[in-house]
Amino acid sequence: MFERLQAYAAIVFDFDGTLIDSYSAIAASVNFIRGEHGLPALTEAEVREFVGRGPDFLLSHTVPQYRPELDLPRYREHHPRVMLEKTSLLPGAAEVLPALHQAGKRLGLCSNKLRVFSTELLRHLGIADYFEIVLGPEDVARPKPAPDMLLAALQRFNLPAGRVLYVGDMTVDVETARAAGVDVWVVPSGSDDRDTLTAARPDRLLESLRDIVAGMTLA
């Protein structure tokens, strides 16, 4: 596996479902908005399938009579109250990021989660120093699956697409990478299951994040 990794100078990660388990926090904020509408709470599993395409997509699919001008600001105001307590690193993330950093790989984050939330979570989880670039939907014209975020990352890294790898957990990540001309590896730890990811035809379907550095020898 590491032989394949050597082709890339930089690795860009998705966040929710790839590096972090944030579904409990997201479900809590969705259910806060549903409560404002007098609706019963959804389970984490019911919310999970709509995570990954940004808060507007999330709320429009989980809140009937969704009012973006009111509900989106309320969601963004509520989420910081729960996201630190209810978010944790996924297995392997705490090992893989320092290993890649020590191996000289430049790391970036491209997520449909607001950048202000991502940066706060990166600091809280103790992994902020590994990331050279952090981008969110507020930094580009279009969120994923449009290629805008990845193209912005390529520009900031000053690297061609062939020297950058994108790692995600959803078909939307495969679509984003293909649109940007970037190779993509996926892990079945997020909103899409293994069969769905296989059908999306990523360059590699990993068993876990740890597979990224399989075979790596650190000095």
Given the residues 14, 71, 173, 192, the one annotated as active site: 14
Return the half-sphere exposure (C-beta side, CA atoms, 13 A cut-off) of residue 218. Answer: 13
Helix (H) or strand (E) holding 73: helix 68-82
What whole-number distance in Å separates Cα of residue 26 and Cα of residue 63? Answer: 13
| Count, residues in the chain | 219
- Using only the alpha carbons of the chain, give its radius of gyration: 17
Residue 20: helix, strand or coil by DSSP? Answer: strand
**Residue 71 annotated as catalytic:** no
Tokens matching residue 73: 């600001």
What whole-number distance in Å separates Cα of residue 39 and Cα of residue 119? Answer: 31
Phi, psi for residue 172 in degrees, rounded to 5? -60, -30
* Cα 87–chain centre separation: 13
3-class secondary structure for 69-123? Answer: HHHHHHHHHHHHHHCCCCCEECCCHHHHHHHHHHCCCEEEEECCCCHHHHHHHHH
CA angle 52, 112, 100 (to 5 degrees): 95
What whole-number distance in Å separates Cα of residue 212 and Cα of residue 204? Answer: 10
Provide the annotated active-site residues: 14
